[in-house]
Structure 1
Amino acid sequence: MSKPLLVCRDSDDSIEPTFSVFCVGYEQTRWRAHELVRDFFRRHLNSFALSFSEWKKIDGDSAAAALARSAKMVYATDNYKRRGEFGELFLHGILRDFYGAEPAVSKIYFLDTPNDTAKGFDAVHVVVNDTGELDLWLGEAKLYVDMKSAISAVVASLNEHMGNEFLRKEFLAISNKFDDGWEHVEKLKELLDDNTSLDVIVDRLVMPVLLTYQSATIGTYDKVCDPYIADLIVEAKEAWQDFKDKLPYDFPLAIHFIVLPLEDTKAVRDIAHETLMKYQTL
């Protein structure tokens, strides 16, 4: 893949949950909202919305048609302001670009109608760990204006999704959607089999959490500089601390807490919607 637009400004794998903060920076004093959307649509929309086999078949002759098909599968409505697909797309792209993850299934691909919303986790990816085994990454993404509201919402989602019954239903739904052409299908089916103890599965689960919110820091600056980076990190670590404080102390999964601050959440959402509509007519 080509170079990502996002830049990791800070990360810490020594703390729990682990922490990373990303940004897109500025160009000629303008925060790069359009570039953010353009980058994720160009490089990640197809792998986000299509099945593995369809995605891998794309070539120079079919690229435009594939983007149009992918865009149409996300949604086809002007009532988009509370939908979560763009946050899910951002999480998907970050996992691919920075964590070596690949999608196990595209939940959007299997929706009955384009305007349905996918249930369960916002991302279902795998990462080959240091021992050569598969870890299953089940992600949550929140695209909000207010940081604290986003944190409260994501913690509520995590608590809801951690029950044994919910996990078993989610594993069944995931397993029914595997693409037989995907190289990891048999290993993941074996891991998620009903006869595999949840104790074993939980040891192989990782939960990436993407927090996207409207940043006071970004609006204070008009270029990337050392004070900007320092302030952005302080703001993001405040979000991390709030998240950690709200998370149950005995939460059983490893969490990667990923922060993507925005200058204007509504503007990013509107740009993404306009771009999606244009791609549908390619």
Structure 2
Amino acid sequence: MSLYKNKPDRFFSDLLGSDSPLGARVYCAGFESGEWRRDQYAEHVMEWLPDYALAEEELSVNHGNIYVRLKQAAVRVYTSEKYKKRGELGEISIHAICRDFYDTIPISNRVFYKSASNDVVKAFDMVHARVIDGEPVQIWLGESKLWKDRLDAVQDAIKSMRSHLAAGFLKSEKLLLGPQIPKTTPRYDEIMHFFKPQTSLDELLGNAVFPVLVAANSQAVIAAKTGDDEYKSSIKKEVEEILAAVSNAKDLAGLKILVISVPVADKDALLDAFDLKLKGLQS
């Protein structure tokens, strides 16, 4: 059995559920004692750290190596003091949400492209596959943005998508990704088909799902104390703005894009909370 069957307990709520706008989902950290759960969000991201930063064979831990494995995972994320403009918190968030809610598995992690901990990698933020019995294999290529302003975030996500999908870049990235996929990955041959040089980019693009995570400061979160109907109504208006911006990118219209909105109260405070926990493991 794949070690990826094991996952942390669910933390985020699928806030709007069946009432979500078509093509989007909102995942909320929730509230506690009238406050948005910032520290708990950071804690949950830390729970996903090994799943995000360790290869599958490294996930076989025991009481004799668990501390070393956790430190290895933490150091692979970043060690820089200049973390306010880094994107790893968003990357781990999209990893966790897709693993938890959509049963994807990682097939080529960005951290393994780094030659040093603080390297910035120009590639898709997430490369997963969805491997469900009785269903065709699906490649999931994700982009994540953690910004103060949600509309700035989605515009930057669109810019990144266009850059990644340029024929020359995507062809090169496809050739780089293929050798990174472990041969132990479930349905390896079916997944590898999409990364072979003989396979048309059109076939990869036709198969792939492109989750785009937009985590940004939300007036709805700031004003709320609970996840009540008023809060949900305000959040729905915010995600509809994000969807409208994506819809305006006509050159991306043929792609299967899934907008993942993660509203936060204060992006910088969330990064501070995450950095404190990450550096605690590294010391």
Q: TM-score, normalised by structure 1?
A: 0.92
Distance in 2, Cα, partners of 1:122 & 1:93: 12
2:42 pairs, out of 28, 37, 41, with: 37
Unmatched segments (≥5 aa) in structure 1: none
Q: 2:208 maps to which residue? A: 205
Paired residues of 1:122 and 1:141 also in contact (CA < 8 A)? yes
Paired residues of 2:247 and 2:253 also in contact (CA < 8 A)? no
Distance in 1, Cα, partners of 2:88 & 2:206: 28
Distance in 2, Cα, partners of 1:129 & 1:170: 25
Paired residues of 1:208 and 1:257 also in contact (CA < 8 A)? yes
Distance in 1, Cα, partners of 2:19 & 2:197: 32
**2:268 alignment partner AA:** K
**1:54 alignment partner AA:** E
- Indicate how the Cα distance of structure 1 residues 184 and 107 shifts in structure 2: closer, same or farther if over 3 A, else same: farther
Question: Counterpart of 1:203 in 2: which secondary structure?
Answer: helix
Q: TM-score, normalised by structure 2?
A: 0.92
Deviations 1:72-121 (A, max 9, x none): 01111101111111110000000001111110111202310111012210
Is 1:50 aligned to 2:50, yes or no? no
Question: Counterpart of 1:176 in 2: which secondary structure?
Answer: helix
Distance in 2, Cα, partners of 1:182 & 1:168: 22
Paired residues of 2:45 and 2:89 also in contact (CA < 8 A)? no
Q: 2:13 maps to which residue? A: 7
Distance in 1, Cα, partners of 2:178 & 2:258: 24
Question: Counterpart of 2:39 in 1: which secondary structure?
Answer: helix
2:155 pairs, out of 149, 152, 157, with: 152
**1:94 alignment partner AA:** I
**Structure 1 vs Structure 2: percent identity of aligned residues?**
27
Paired residues of 1:104 and 1:125 also in contact (CA < 8 A)? yes
Is 1:252 aligned to 2:230, yes or no? no
Distance in 2, Cα, partners of 1:248 & 1:63: 48
Paired residues of 1:146 and 1:214 also in contact (CA < 8 A)? yes
**1:7 alignment partner AA:** S
What is the root-mean-square deviation in Å for CA atoms of aligned residues? 1.9
Question: Counterpart of 2:254 in 1: which secondary structure?
Answer: coil
Distance in 2, Cα, partners of 1:250 & 1:166: 16
Q: CA deviation at 1:14?
A: 9.3
Superposed counterparts of 1:21-32, under 5 Å: 21-32=26-37
Paired residues of 1:51 and 1:105 also in contact (CA < 8 A)? no
Distance in 2, Cα, partners of 1:106 & 1:34: 26
Is 1:226 aligned to 2:226, yes or no? no
Distance in 2, Cα, partners of 1:202 & 1:236: 25
Aligned length: 277
Stretch deviating more after TM superposition (129-138 or 98-107): 129-138
Q: 1:176 maps to which residue? A: 179
Paired residues of 2:124 and 2:141 also in contact (CA < 8 A)? yes
**1:266 alignment partner AA:** D
**1:46 alignment partner AA:** P
- Indicate how the Cα distance of structure 1 residues 66 and 184 shifts in structure 2: closer, same or farther if over 3 A, else same: farther
**1:171 alignment partner AA:** K
Q: CA deviation at 1:129?
A: 5.5
Deviations 1:35-82 (A, max 9, x none): 00101211x111111112212x12344333211110001111101111
Q: 2:3 maps to which residue? A: none
Distance in 1, Cα, partners of 2:184 & 2:131: 18
